[in-house]
Structure 1
């Protein structure tokens, strides 16, 4: 479905009248922030600042503590099932407030986790979560970034790169930037997993916050940058509304 179409909006309003006022408020915020921030990263950083101030867990897409824990465990379990080992070097793009990250940090050897996010507000929450979980001795790196070029990171360093609910909030040029550079930081034999909102129809966005892509578009984009990409069918078995693609770089 095209969630940006007026037909869909009218149908949703009729079915869920209680969502109309929150949607109008969100639309008003979207208009104000788009006028203030023409660049998407700056725009979404402002969105995250507002959402984090209201509720850090809701800011990363979890409506309550139980759901926050469940989604983090789902991500972590999938990574371990696919071979994440304590000695691996792990880069998390959009680390948020460590919804999955605290489990990954606990699993890895010290100095092996590197988390980046465009939002300084959510990175502060990540540090609080790190303290709450007593994981300081793992010495993870938590860094604010302004793009996805990874220019401050070394070549062929990370065995696993992970981005959950990042591309679902990204225009195609941001995804293209990431895929253009992620191959450089991937270690031989390493992989990059990312989730995305999948549509089989017209690609679209809702208020520049939620983006929907066809699988073929993202597979082709990765291949254009010399990467091998495949749709992860086994992820579809999980109770999650986003789909997953895995990217690997040539040896």
Structure 2
């Protein structure tokens, strides 16, 4: 939690321990540099990253490079939310729904029409449609919508009981997270809650290749408070096999 993965010392040590990963890292560095030069902001840049990754492997684009891992990560997210208050009658907004790794379970569990998935990547949403068909969930009528930002301007006030974002803020600079905090409270019911994961550090906050961002817990708690949101660190999530941490936000 205290390592700075962007430091030269860490990169040299990691390369010596994992020499087979040097070439893939250099390819990723070249790809990311090229995409940053061709885009004007972080969301546009990461949309291009997702387009590239989805074309190669939709599961890999959301961090699961085999079907067993994809299913396990989706089940972990689903079980945690059900254990912590998600009911079939809830209206749920999933930010960064991807190709429905967890979404296919939420859709099958929630009442018809109660799942709303948004993503900045139209390409991964096409893969999400394939997931719906593969799992026979067409009659659940989920809403899948591409977005250009996290302002949620097209969504109604106080509509959602639950908002969920898994592995979204781990790829987001602070200004994108702040935009979400500034607007998510409007679409949440007064009794609603917003769970999100993030890459936690107890040392210096940093990023790797503008793709992976590491934040201190107190930074995100204070940023949420600036917009009238109470943020609680979810200690029990730390026992999960996932490497990221989780915070729950309420109005």
TM range (shorter): over 0.9
Divergent runs of 4+, >3 A: none
Aligned residue in 1 for 2:185:
183
TM-score for the superposition, normalised by structure 2:
0.99
1:3 aligns with 2:5: yes
Say which SS state the counterpart of residue 155 (structure 1) adopts: coil
- The alignment's TM-score, normalised by the length of structure 1, stands at 0.99
Question: Does residue 73 of the first structure (1) align with residue 39 of the second (2)?
Answer: no
Superposed, 1:193-204 pairs within 5 Å as: 193-204=195-206
1:150-203 per-position Cα deviation (integer Å, ceiling 9, x unaligned): 000000000000000000000000000000100000012110000000000010
Determine the structure 1 residue equivalent to 2:215.
213
Match of 2:146 among 144, 158, 161: 144
**3-state SS in 2 of match to 1:26:** helix
Partner SS state of residue 4, structure 2: coil
Match in the other structure for 1:22: 24
Q: State how far apart, in whole Å, the 2-side matches of 1:65 and 1:136 are.
A: 21
Q: What is the alpha-carbon root mean square deviation over aligned residues?
A: 0.5
Deviations 1:88-129 (A, max 9, x none): 000000000000000000000001000000000000000110
Provide the C-alpha distance between the structure 2 equivalents of 1:200 and 1:193, rounded to a whole number of angstroms: 21
Which SS does the other structure have where 2:164 is aligned?
strand
Q: Which residue of 1 aligns with 2:160?
A: 158
Q: Which residue of 2 aligns with 1:115?
A: 117
Q: 1:101 aligns with which of 89, 100, 103?
A: 103
Give the aligned length.
Answer: 249
Q: CA deviation at 1:83?
A: 1.4
Deviation string 1:201-245 (CA, Å, 9 cap, x unpaired) is 010000010000000000000001110111000100100100000
2:225 maps to which of 223, 226, 232: 223
CA distance in 1, matches of 2:222, 2:74: 29
Measure, in 2, the Cα distance between the counterparts of 1:230 and 1:201.
20
Deviation at 1:38, TM superposition (A): 2.3
1:116-131, aligned counterparts within 5 Å? 116-131=118-133
Matches within 5 A, 1:32-47: 32-47=34-49
- Unaligned runs of at least 5 residues, structure 1: none
Task: State the alpha-carbon separation in 1 of the partners of residues 33 and 163 from structure 2.
Answer: 33
User: Which consecutive residues of structure 2, in runs of 5 or more, have no partner in the other structure?
Assistant: none
